[in-house]
Amino acid sequence: MAQARYKWEDVEPVYNLVALHGTVAAAARSFIPPMAIATAQNQYEAAVSKFKKLDVRKLHKDAIAYDPENPPKSDLTESITHPNAVVVAFSDAHWTSLHQPRSLAHEALLKVIPIVKPDILLTVGDLLDMGEPSRHDPLGWHKRIKVADEIEAAKKHLDDIMGLAPRAARWWVRGNHDDRFDKYLALHSAMFQGVDGFDFAGHFSDWRMCHRLDLNDVVVMHRYHGGIHAAWNNALKSGVSFISGDTHSLEVKPMVDMKGRRYGVQTGMLADPNWPCFTYMQGNTRLWNPGFAVLTFRNGMMMPPELCEVVNGVAWFRGQEVAGKPRVRVQAGRS
């Protein structure tokens, strides 16, 4: 039989992921790169038949009967109502260690928070880079970063941010880089589930985490659509104002239809595009822009969003220089 060639360590990752997701297809898609569904099916069947493991698909199927009066809610989504609030929304810090200097956008964030006095601190994901437990191979002899150093840096920077708005609610909409921590351990060390330190959220207990946050009538997710028209497509296809990160673009894209006016907001990047963690770009440019967004709600409605944007070495907010120094360009041949 084909299953006889498998050892338990060969089939354990698939079995654990089926237990997590409920189906073989979902488990196969969660691998990076994705595993062929037929291969995952063979390995899962080997775990059940050869190694006498429980068929965990039945547990997912039979656990809860569907109740049309009380439909199930995803544990990845949170909803909050705050009719009158100021929100500072930042993302894509890609912190790697305390030896990494703060970026200009980061410095601006520390200056703007005391100015706007936010009711909510909202990170839209990818605060850590997590380059090591990822699918990307190193570029040449690129220096390897320890996960412990990234967590240490994130804790220090977040403590500084929280200290500027100690009464603000704190929400962390997780990004794909943040999820690399749990995903790697689920694939390679699932037997340690429940052990202290093996859960990403446990390292940042001051922040409430989710993958989607419904804030009044606005949806916040790390990523939905990508590409140059991400903000427009997010607002168009969601049907609501939409806040996102991931693309490293910083913009507010208004949209008007029969329902009225709404916005697609991309929160830029708190990181510096020239940092070593972005060497995979190999000197190319994209529509990346350091900065962040400030959102104001009045009677449950989001007002026109504001941006703090880094332009030519200066972080600008409401027409004022809040960090950095202008870059003086000198014409060739002149001093």
Please tell me the distance from the alpha carbon of residue 300 to that of residue 281, in angstroms, as a whole number: 41
Q: Is residue 335 part of a domain?
A: no
Whether 46 and 164 share a structural domain: no
Please tell me the distance from the alpha carbon of residue 169 to that of residue 181, in angstroms, as a whole number: 24
Q: Is residue 69 part of a domain?
A: no
User: Which residue spans within the chain are E strands per DSSP?
Assistant: 77-80, 85-90, 120-123, 169-173, 208-210, 212-215, 218-221, 242-244, 250-257, 260-267, 291-298, 301-302, 306-311, 314-317, 320-324
What are the backbone dihedrals phi and psi of residue 17, each rounded to the nearest 5 degrees, phi first?
Answer: -75, -30
Q: Is residue 331 part of a domain?
A: no
Whether 226 and 141 share a structural domain: yes
Q: Is residue 329 part of a domain?
A: no
Give the residue with greater pLDDT, 139 vs 324: 324
Q: Is residue 288 part of a domain?
A: yes
pLDDT of residue 75: 60
Q: Is residue 332 part of a domain?
A: no
DSSP labels, 59-85: HHHHSS---TTS----TTEEEE--SSE
Question: What is the mean predicted confidence (pLDDT) over 44-73?
Answer: 70
Whether 116 and 52 share a structural domain: no
Please tell me the distance from the alpha carbon of residue 264 to that of residue 253, in angstroms, as a whole number: 5
Q: Which amino acid is at 124?
A: V
What is the Cα Rg of the chain in Å?
A: 22
**What residues have CB less than 8 Å from 167, skipping those under 6 apart?**
none
What is the value of pTM for the model shown? 0.73
Tokens of 264: 């697609």
C-alpha distances in Å from residue 131, one per residue of 100, 155, 197: 15, 18, 19
Whether 253 and 191 share a structural domain: yes
Whether 24 and 167 share a structural domain: no
pLDDT of residue 264: 97
Q: What does the pLDDT look like over 14-40, one tens digit per residue?
A: 888 888 878 888 888 877 778 888 888
Whether 104 and 33 share a structural domain: no
Reported confidence tier of residue 335, pLDDT bands at 50, 70, 90: very low
Q: Is residue 215 part of a domain?
A: yes
Whether 152 and 279 share a structural domain: yes
What's the number of domains the chain is made of?
2
Whether 291 and 317 share a structural domain: yes
Please tell me the distance from the alpha carbon of residue 96 to that of residue 129, in angstroms, as a whole number: 6
DSSP labels, 177-230: HHHHHHHHHHHH-GGGTTSTTSSGGGGGTTSEEESEEEETTEEEES-SS-STTH
pLDDT of residue 70: 59
Whether 272 and 216 share a structural domain: yes
Question: What is the mean predicted confidence (pLDDT) over 136-141?
Answer: 60
Reported confidence tier of residue 301, pLDDT bands at 50, 70, 90: very high
Cβ(5)–Cβ(48) below 8 Å: no
Q: Is residue 70 part of a domain?
A: no
pLDDT of residue 189: 73
pLDDT of residue 197: 78
Whether 44 and 104 share a structural domain: no
Whether 207 and 270 share a structural domain: yes
The CATH number of the domain holding residue 91 is 3.60.21.10
Q: Which amino acid is at 191?
A: M
What are the backbone dihedrals phi and psi of residue 35, each rounded to the nearest 5 degrees, phi first?
Answer: -90, 150
* Residues spanned by the domain of 49: 2-62
Whether 55 and 83 share a structural domain: no
